[in-house]
Amino acid sequence: MSETEEQAEERLLRTPLYNLHLELGAKMVPFAGYEMPLHFREGILKEHQHTRNQAGLFDVSHMGQVRLSGDGAAAAMERIVPVDVVDLAVNRQRYALFTNDAGGILDDLMITNAGDHLFVVVNAACKQQDIAHMRKHLSDDCEVETLEDRALLALQGPVAGEVMASLVPASRELVFMTGARLSLAGADCFVTRSGYTGEDGFEISVAASQAEAVTRELLSHEHVAPAGLGARDSLRLEAGLCLYGHDIDITTTPVEASLLWAIQKVRRSGGERAAGFPGADVILGQIANGVSRKRVGIQPLGKVPVREGCELLDSFGNRVGIVTSGGFGPTVGAPVAMGYVNAAFAKLDTELQAVVRGKSHPVRVAKTNFVEQRYYRG
């Protein structure tokens, strides 16, 4: 007997802010095993524009939060990611990747040195496998603790800094990719200055029991409005940020994905702690010798959106790539996309054709970010 939609909905998890979302008029949808807000009363377009111009507040409590404790945590973590964890200073944050033996990407994640532990945030869709991966490879050297009782909020936009400073003056000391323990609305929070929109902003880890109070305090600010998954996706696409399972997965390596910037020199060939991570031979070989395909931005030259799965053709009609993310960019005022093309076609301004519903439409290879990334660096 097949499961009814009602039974499936009953199995979905809810974040600590579920009831508040309903109060605010959210359109709830299934996502990564949770009931999540797709948008609120204003709709995706206005939420996107509000975040670009003021500040949007996102519930990202479906993400996985993990604490790695013990003197061996950093060295152990460095064995399963191709980035520098050992030298990560206290209160500094770093983007990282779990890789497999073939160099494929298992997930992307954020690591923050919180002083007495590493604070790790992983994607919702990969949460269980990521936690199992860390337990398998790290448990002999450190404690792997899943923080099930915490919510995660993302305040994003050009006035996010002003909003946070009005509530927590100490937040002014934070710059992009740093974190600190701060008190917000009477709650002890761990706050990082980071996000997934290309804008300045903060991610706020808070006890589940205090999440609603913190959210209401932030939403009471005149420049802050709630935003859902729809705006989160269009914002990250305009900013050229990868979505796991679409733009990166186990079939793509960091080099193919144009994420070479995430691999510090100390982990590359000739570095003090070169290699020693899954897939090192493949990834370091690609750094040295190049790759056959690359992730690029795709700028449609007309008004037709070019979406995931659309084939990319050269002037002779040969398939040379595929779109992995695409849609309308509200800030750009035009369709935007990203995908993979054969390396010979990865040069900026290369003209290609995208096949949309059986018809070819002209596109041009572009930078992956279609808007300026406005992170606060002090």
pTM for the complete prediction?
Answer: 0.95
Contact (Cβ atoms closer than 8 angstroms) between residue 227 and residue 330 = no
* pLDDT score for 137: 98
The CATH number of the domain covering residues in 292-378: 2.40.30.110
* pLDDT score for 370: 98
Contact (Cβ atoms closer than 8 angstroms) between residue 329 and residue 335 = yes
Contact (Cβ atoms closer than 8 angstroms) between residue 371 and residue 198 = yes
Q: Is 31 exposed, middle or buried (0-12, 13-18, 19+ CB in 10 A)?
A: middle
Going from the C-alpha of 228 to that of each of 6, 258, 331, the distances in angstroms are 23, 28, 17
* pLDDT score for 279: 98
Q: Does domain 5-61+149-238 have CATH number 3.30.1360.120?
A: yes
Residues with Cβ within 8 Å of 132's Cβ and at least 6 positions away in sequence, in order, are none
Domain range annotation of the chain: 5-61+149-238, 292-378
The H or E element containing residue 77 is helix 73-78
The rounded Cα 284 to chain-centroid distance in angstroms is 24
Phi, psi for residue 321 in degrees, rounded to 5: 180, -175
- Tens of pLDDT, residue by residue over 65-104, are 999 999 999 999 999 999 999 999 999 999 999 999 999 9
CA distance 14 to 301: 41
Sign of CA dihedral 6, 12, 14, 15: negative
DSSP 316: T
Do the two domains 5-61+149-238 and 292-378 of this chain adopt the same fold? no
Can you list the residues of the chain whose pLDDT is less than 50? 1-3
CA distance 105 to 96: 10
* pLDDT score for 9: 53
Q: Is 211 exposed, middle or buried (0-12, 13-18, 19+ CB in 10 A)?
A: buried
Strands (E), 208-268: 224-227
* pLDDT score for 3: 47
* pLDDT score for 257: 98
Ramachandran area for residue 367 (φ above 0: left; ψ -120 to 50: alpha; else beta): beta
Ramachandran area for residue 258 (φ above 0: left; ψ -120 to 50: alpha; else beta): left
* pLDDT score for 10: 63
Spatial CA neighbour of 231 closest among 15, 95, 41, 9: 41
